[in-house]
Every structure is written in structure tokens, then in C-alpha cells.
């Protein structure tokens, strides 16, 4: 069977000490999770998601992930762990 997989994605909780804030449309957000995608060419792409720092039911908004060594390490650790989970999965 010829199956075409376009991308794989995983969701990662950003540890409290690595979280940051960013502003969109005059509203501050605390970034809490990453979505990491494995693209067909073998590279990864990540976006950060968060909620308004002030609370409330604001939108869950995506932001670029800053190029910080500790976040690069988090993405690498998450993809390695995901690979272990995929390898051990049973269908």
C-alpha cells in the first residue's frame, strides 16, 4: 500500500521556567505549549501557543518560537521522546 504522510505533529507543554510572554493586538499572552511538526523533508517547524496573561476566555493564539538554546533543546528532547513512543506503539 502506498501511503503518503504529509506531516507528523506533537504537542509539548512548555515547562514553567521556560515560558515567556508576547503581545498580539495589544494583549499579552503567556506561551504554554508548543506544536512541533515533522515535515516531509525531515525538518521540524514549531509554533508556540498561549492564553491571555490577564486571564479570561481569550483566543488560543500562535506565536513564533524564539531561537533560544533551551527551547531548541526542548524541541529536540520532545521529538526524541515522540520517536520512542512511536517505535513502542502497538496497533
Please give the mean pLDDT across all residues of the chain. Answer: 91
Residue 42 region by backbone torsions, left for phi larger than 0, else alpha for psi between -120 and 50, else beta: left
6-40 per-position pLDDT tens digit: 888 999 999 999 999 999 889 999 999 999 998 88
Per-residue pLDDT at 79:
94
Q: Tell me the mean pLDDT in the region 61-74.
A: 94
Does 90 have pLDDT greater than 90? no
Residues in the chain: 91
Backbone angles phi, psi at 32, to 5 degrees: -120, -25
Per-residue pLDDT at 67:
94
The alpha carbon of residue 37 and the mean position of all alpha carbons in its chain are separated, in whole angstroms, by 8
Per-residue pLDDT at 58:
66
Q: What helix, strand, coil percent values describe the chain, rounded to 5?
A: 25, 40, 35
Q: Tell me the mean pLDDT in the region 40-66.
A: 87
Amino acid at each position: 500500500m502506498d501511503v503518503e504522510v504529509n506531516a507528523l505533529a506533537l504537542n509539548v507543554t512548555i515547562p514553567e521556567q521556560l515560558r515567556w510572554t508576547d503581545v498580539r493586538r495589544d494583549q499579552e499572552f503567556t506561551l504554554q505549549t508548543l506544536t512541533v511538526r515533522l515535515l516531509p523533508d525531515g525538518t521540524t517547524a514549531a509554533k508556540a501557543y498561549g492564553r491571555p496573561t490577564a486571564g479570561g476566555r481569550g483566543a488560543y493564539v500562535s506565536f513564533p518560537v524564539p531561537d533560544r538554546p533551551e527551547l531548541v533543546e526542548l524541541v529536540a528532547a520532545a521529538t526524541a521522546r515522540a520517536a520512542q513512543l512511536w517505535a513502542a506503539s502497538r496497533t
